[in-house]
Structure formats: C-alpha cells, structure tokens
A and B are shown apart, each in its own frame.
Chain A
Amino acid sequence: MGSGSWAGGWLRDPPWSASLGQPIGATVLLLAALAMGCQPMALQPLPAINGRIEQAGSSREPALGDRWLAVIVGQGGRERVELLDLERGLPVPLPGLNRADAQPVSVSVAAAGDRLALVRQLEGRTELVLYRRSVASLQLLRIQPEGVPRRVQLRADGRQLAVEVSRQGLWQIDLFQLP
C-alpha cells in the first residue's frame, strides 16, 4: 500500500497504530505523513475513459477485468453490452452477443477479457449465457434445479462463475465450473 494512503484519514487502524496513544499518536502520524510529503488521498477519476463511457449514454452493472470494463449501456431506450479496452480507450466488437430483442440484466468479464458471462431476458425468459470472444460463440448455461438468474460474476480466470438464482421466493447463489 502507498505510504500516504492513511494521511487523509480514510485508512482506519493501520497495523502499526495500536502502539500509539490517541490523540498524540494521530498527531505524530500526521506530522510524519507531512514530513514524507503525503497528501490526502481520494478516488482518482480516469477522465478519458469516463468521457468515453458517458458518450455511450447511460451505463450500469460495471464489471472489471485487468484491462477490460464490461458494462451495460443504454441509448434511445435500448440497452446493450459493451466491452471497453481500458488501455486503448476503445470498445471492442462483440459479434453475436447483443440482440435487438434481448434485454441485458447483468454482465461480467474474465480478467483477460476473453470470456463474458451474461444474464439476459429474451422471449419471455431469463437466461444465463457464456460468451467466448475468440470464437464469438454463445453457450446457454442450464440452471439446475430450475430458477431465475439475476446477477452473475465470472471468476477472474474465467473457470468458474457465481450467479444469483431465485427459487421458490428465495434468492440463492449457484456456482458453475466452466471448461
């Protein structure tokens, strides 16, 4: 962790603070931080990519890979999944994933950006699918026992996913091993 991350007061109970009394300890730490040139820390927006996301319209359900952001964007009353390459600041094509008659619900991406998991509503049902970018293939994942999926999260290595499933009025979590 960066040495200055506690200087703004956002880091509580740093591991070495227990031996220092309050408020003397806090004062000593603050002076030490100032001596080290630390500045208060906060979230640092990434304006270039945020501008790109804003251009796409409304956006929701973010999912990060190491250099990828999967997100559901909406424009003109229609929503679609977009995958942004964060290093190039550009979306990549997802042939066969988005359909005009489908409503995306939740999306997730593996760290390498090669796989996406998607929950979508299509023709009156809600389904869970796995998309492989290298071959532009879409695989329906059958939920057993039957249930209605909602939010999905793909493990960073793409080998497992977890999904919320509604069964008999109760939300549960299912795990899928993926080949």
Chain B
Amino acid sequence: MPAPNAGFGGSNRADPALSGDGRWLASVIEQGGTSRVILQSQPGGALQPLRHLGPRTTPHGSPSLSWNGRYLAVLASAGERRLIAIEDRQRGSLLRLPLPGGSQPERLSLAPDASRLAVQLQQQGGRRVQLFSLRALLEPDRPGGIRELGGGLAP
C-alpha cells in the first residue's frame, strides 16, 4: 500500500524509515534540486516539524528512527562536509558527530534502542560498514512498558 504522500505526490520519495512503535515514518524527498528528510505521523501521514534538520543542512540521506521516534539520525551536510546528525525530538537538540578522517558516509542505521550506530563508509575506493557505540551520548529509547529493574506481577 503506498504511504500517504503528504502533498509530495509528484516528487521522488526514498529511504523510508519507520519507528519501532509504528507511529512515525521518515523519508527523503527530492524537491528544488536537493534531498530533504521529512517526518510523518502514522497512519494519517501528517507532517511533523523538525527543529534542526532544515534546508541549511541538506542534502539529507539515509534517515533512521529509534523505537519511539525520539531520535532521528540522518546524513546531513555542513558546507562541503558530510556528517551524521541526530535530532533528539524530546529535548529539541541536535547531535552532530564527526567521522573517521578521510571517510565519506553513505548510509547509516540507528539501533532501535539508540545504543549503536552503523555507518557505511566510502574509503579508498571501497565500501565498509563500521559500528559505533552511542551509549555515552544518548539515553536509550526503548519500547514503553519494558521493566528494566525489579520484578513482581503487573497490577
């Protein structure tokens, strides 16, 4: 079933990313000669504002959402430089992450709980995936209702 197009029916849409709880869909639209990430609520498809990932950080690519959609990770640009940007929608902040020297990021994947990030890098003519820990940078975003400590029966 085609996803709601949010008014972008005549534009190319690529790189879909669903949050684990199914409430959010991120994708990249091609419009005005660049690629920009959009976020829609599900199932209606209403557009949700992104505080930091605006036109100045385009072109965007490879969005990835955490379980509840708190974090949206995306390949973004700062001038000529490609970088990884993670918008924390709960705090309204942006994390910009440096990459290993000389490598060009091409794809990324954020773990559902936001504990790890996998990045596909272009290096010396080849492609390779590298894995990074985010545990020191981000609070976890786990599915609601999971008890991490203690026990006992539910009421």
Cross-chain contact of B13 among A14, A60, A172 (Cβ < 8 A): A172
B47 at the interface (CB under 8 A from A): no
B93 touches A13 (CB 8 A): yes
Q: Which B6-47 residues have C-beta < 8 A from chain A?
A: 10, 12-22, 25, 27
A156 — nearest CB in chain B belongs to which residue?
Answer: B20
**A10-B96, A64-B112, A151-B14 known; A111-B20 Cβ under 8 A:** yes
Residues on A lying within 8 angstroms of B by beta carbon are 1-2, 4-5, 10-15, 41-46, 49-50, 53-54, 58-66, 69, 71, 86, 111, 150-151, 153, 155-157, 159-165, 170-176
* A86-B131, A156-B112 given; 12 more Cβ-contact pairs under 8 Å: A43-B100, A45-B130, A46-B132, A59-B120, A60-B127, A62-B107, A62-B120, A65-B111, A66-B111, A155-B19, A170-B10, A175-B25
What CA separation (Å) do A86 and B132 show in the bound complex? 12
**A159, B18: Cα distance in complex, Å:** 11
CB-based contact A164/B118 at 8 Å: no
B116 touches A86 (CB 8 A): yes
Q: Is the interface of A mostly helix, strand, loop or mixed?
A: strand
A64-B111, A162-B18, A162-B25 are contacts. A59–B1 as well, Cβ < 8 Å? no
A11 touches B94 (CB 8 A): yes
Please name 29 pairs of A and B residues whose Cβ atoms are closer than 8 Å in the assembled complex, sorted by A. A1-B88, A4-B136, A5-B138, A10-B95, A13-B94, A15-B93, A41-B137, A45-B131, A58-B127, A59-B120, A59-B129, A62-B108, A62-B118, A64-B111, A64-B112, A71-B118, A151-B14, A153-B18, A155-B18, A155-B22, A157-B22, A162-B3, A164-B13, A164-B16, A165-B2, A172-B5, A172-B13, A173-B13, A175-B2
